[in-house]
Amino acid sequence: MNILQVPDGTLTTSINPFLPATEYVPDGEPHVFGNRVYIYGSHDLADGTAVMCAGDYVCYSAALTDLAHWRYEGVIYRRDQDPFARMMTRRGGDKLGLKSHLFAPDVVEVHGRYYLYYGVAMSESGVAMAVADSPTGPFEYVGRVRYPESEKPSGWRDGKDGLDDGDMAFFGGRPAISRRGIRIKEFPYDPTLLLHEGRLFLYVGLLNCYVVELDTSDMRTVVKNESGGYATQVFRARPLKLVRDLMFGKAADAHFVNGPSIREIDGAFVLSYYAMGSGGFNGMYYATADQPQGPFAPAGPLVSLGNSRFRGQKSPADQTGNIHGGMFAVDGQWYQIYHRQTKAGRPACAVPLTRRADGGFEHAEHTSMGFSTEPLNAFRRWPAYMACHLTDHVGASGKNSPLIAQRAYDNTDGELPVVTRLRAGSIVGYKYFDFGADAVAGARVSIELDPASRGRVDIRLDDASTGPVVATIEVDGPLGTPVSFTAAMAPVRGVHAVYLVTHPEGPELGGLSQLAFGSAR
């Protein structure tokens, strides 16, 4: 039996993740240039491995009037264009990519040219810069962010560590992880840029966070601050308190980890970043300041993986891990870009932000809706991988909860990621669907599944444990081949979260690929 013949909802509506299903662009920095918004980020490959950022930099863009459709702009910068990454790749042995992969970048436009700043993983090579005449590149390597020539020590050797521009890299010279130990102080991680009144500021951070001004005559030489140094500290690492709070903490605060992203909003400087806290909190936090160099005061969460701490939620309802991304606005509506964690990669997600009366931001809910500010039309066909709630039979996320996997890694046939590890009592949730003001007579629900065993799927509304069961789908067909299963629904009207609760007869039910609602007609 085929899945219900209703329109594909993704053709007209934004969902999470919002890029093509098999594209993984984490650490997304959105920038509006002209009438389009461009997403720059790291690039995970859907190869089923744990290695992050293995791809070249790619770019996607969308018209500001249509955030449901994103255009692939192609590869904008290759790993082998960076001299240090190229050297480390040729040497070999970097299986985890910690010295050769391109990590989270950012782009800034100055006088009609576009400058790409990035770091090479956890290496000693500092922050690199490339330039292009278009927001979509191609970008060409220029050199490293550097100290002034006057700071070069006597006997400095040009070309050190493969940096063929011969300059002394700012905060460079020692990797974050080496045989000499772990270096987090003054490590230039996850660069982000702010152009303010003709002055250019670079922010970096790994547990510690710093801001430094760059000379706009060359876009990469650091400038001394008012105290006579170069870097101004924004956040200071407190690793022991971080560990203590993660294990025993009950406070609602959170610690800076990495991923700074800077914006100027209504005259204030807003720094968003990846933060960790008690209760499994892994989320985007933000801090504000009156000046680009601070001091910055933490102001609260923007969005969290699995919605930890959202409206009092005490634990995450999805896989957690690192999170990173930036903000942008369209006609006064602000959006936060971030990524979630899946087995296949880290796909880009989005959420509309709500402003408070004081100008701050509310904690937004991670949903299936992407850029959509209204609930999704239930009577459409939807991909299963847009589930925003994945927990086990006791409502916990982790090693026993469902996960999203890419079954065909090359994806030559356009196969979608699937929700798998569906065990007894597994919960797969979607927020939010609109079933209309009036209940549809003869409504039906359908799923597409590659069944590993027979069983059933209960469809619940609003609460995965106590919400009403509006349909039960019997999985009683052939095993080992994708097939659709359909059941009648009780009358439903209004807006609801929808939860699929699985009950396999064997260890697992199989891989879920699609969900649809329709009528008997």
SS3 of 344-396: the string is CCCCEEEEECCECCCCCECCCCCCCCCCCCCCEECCCEEEHHHCCEEECCCCC
Has residue 242 been placed in a domain? Answer: yes
Whose tokens are 């009648």? That residue is 488
Task: Give the CA distances from residue 388 to residues 49, 142, 180, in Å, rounded to whole numbers and listed in that order.
Answer: 22, 41, 41
Contacts of 431 (CB under 8 A, 6+ apart): 365, 367, 368, 369, 388, 389, 497
Q: In terms of Cα–Cα distance, which of 219, 22, 189, 232 is closest to 108?
A: 219
- Residue 442, in any domain of the structure: yes
Q: Which is it for the CA torsion 388, 393, 396, 400, positive or negative?
A: negative
Check residue 93 and give its pLDDT: 83
Residues 79 and 218 placed together within one structural domain of the fold: yes
User: Are residues 381 and 253 part of one domain?
Assistant: no
State residue 481's pLDDT score. 86
In a domain, 110, yes or no: yes
- State how many domains the chain has: 2
In whole angstroms, give the CA distance from residue 11 to residue 108. Answer: 31
Residue 276 CA to residue 322 CA, distance in Å, equals 9
Q: How far apart are CA 171 and CA 309, in angstroms?
A: 35
Q: What is the reported pLDDT for 521?
A: 54
Alpha carbon distance 376, 370 (integer Å): 10
Identify the domain boundary among 224, 258, 292.
Answer: 258
Q: What's the pLDDT score for residue 293?
A: 96
Is the CB of residue 1 less than 8 Å from the CB of residue 23?
no
Residue 288 lies in a domain: no
Confidence (pLDDT) at 410: 42
Structural domain contains residue 286 = no
Give the residues of the chain that fall short of pLDDT 70.
1-2, 47-50, 155-167, 178-181, 407-415, 520-521
Domain that holds residue 233: 28-258
Residue 169 forms part of a structural domain: yes
* Residue 252 shares a structural domain with residue 386: no
* 79 and 210 both lie in a single domain: yes
Q: Which two tokens stand for residue 408?
A: 């065909």
Domain end marker among 258, 275, 302: 258
What is the CATH classification number for the domain harbouring 155? 2.115.10
Picking from 234, 258, 282, the residue at the C-terminal end of a domain is: 258
Half-sphere exposure of 181 (CA within 13 A, CB side): 3
Q: What is the pLDDT of residue 412?
A: 46
In this predicted structure, what is the pLDDT of residue 178? 67
Q: In whole angstroms, how far apart are CA 409 and each of 255, 419, 474?
A: 35, 15, 30
| Residue 302 confidence (pLDDT) | 98
Give a yes or no: residue 364 inside a domain: no
pLDDT at 411: 42
Whose tokens are 């933000």? That residue is 286
As a whole number of angstroms, the distance between CA 365 and CA 465 comes to 20
Provide the pLDDT for residue 166.
53
Residue 171 lies in a domain: yes
Pull the structure tokens for residue 210.
């710093």
Q: What is the CATH number of the domain that holds 469?
A: 2.60.120.260
